Amino acid sequence: MHNSVTAFFRLALDLKQSGMSDQNEYAALSWRNGKIPVATRFDDPYFSLEDGIAETAHVFLAGNDLPDRFAEGFHIGELGFGTGLNLLCAWKAWEDAGQTTPLRYTSFEAFPMAPQDMAQAQAAWPELAEYAARFARAWDHGARRLVCGTLRADVVAGDARKTLPCWGGRADAWFLDGFSPAKNPELWEPDLLTAVARHTATGGSFATYTAAGHVRRALASAGFAVKRTKGYGRKRHMTRGTLESG
């Protein structure tokens, strides 16, 4: 699995040749215990120091009432592709729920991880190895799109403040997974969160690990009915919500 994932990300995330990112650079990382990547630009880990899979299940899946809401054509939007953990977990949950049609997934990422870093990060989750390998084999580099049986995924590289407003889709559920608002304020600006709402289907939802007051207020102003709920691990609270009007 390690070799196939490395080969995939060497192909799919070679941004300097493909022009996928207007920054034309990979994420700068350090490693904690050799397993947990930390973004040096934001001084923030990519996933929970305790259990990344459990955090994704609690915050992003349960926070959007998934898999209960899964249905044909369901579309997940995401701010912050990171290691790809959320996608792999959602894809597995989709298949575990018995869905046989494609899950649609669109993620916006400004600084994709370098191939070797992505492979090292994903190696921490042997329970997702099957999905990481399938992802690796199926990626269409030219279209920046993964087409693989039960998954149709796009990773949109570049500043989400520029790329999301131009996107033609609407998501049924959003995973708002940028780095900490205190360290990465760009992904939590009111204008961007308003764009999230505009690209949410009526009755659609969002979930995020942060409970920062200014983020909750911005999401409420954008049209979401916002709730603060129990967080995962060391985080006492998180935020979730539903779009009141489309």
Calpha distance 221→241 (Å, rounded): 12
Per DSSP, 52 falls in state H
Helix (H, G, I), strand (E, B) or coil at 37: strand
The count of structural domains within the chain is 1
pLDDT for 220: 97
pLDDT for 116: 72
Token pair listed for 23: 């920054």
Would you say the pTM of this structure is higher than 0.75?
yes
pLDDT for 181: 87
Q: Tell me the residue range of the domain where 224 lies.
A: 2-243
- Tell me, what CATH number does 231's domain have? 3.40.50.150
Say if strands 224-230 and 36-39 run parallel, antiparallel, or are unpaired: unpaired
Listed residue (5, 177, 212) closest to 107, CA to CA? 177
pLDDT per residue as tens, the chain (246 positions): 445 444 444 444 443 333 343 444 677 777 777 677 777 777 667 776 568 899 999 999 999 999 999 999 999 999 998 888 999 999 999 999 999 999 999 999 888 777 677 777 788 889 999 998 887 777 655 446 888 899 999 989 889 999 999 999 999 999 998 878 888 889 899 999 999 999 999 999 999 999 999 999 999 999 999 999 999 988 899 999 999 865
pLDDT for 211: 94
Calpha distance 79→214 (Å, rounded): 17
Per DSSP, 62 falls in state G
Residues 6+ apart with CB under 8 A from 68: none
Calpha distance 77→84 (Å, rounded): 13
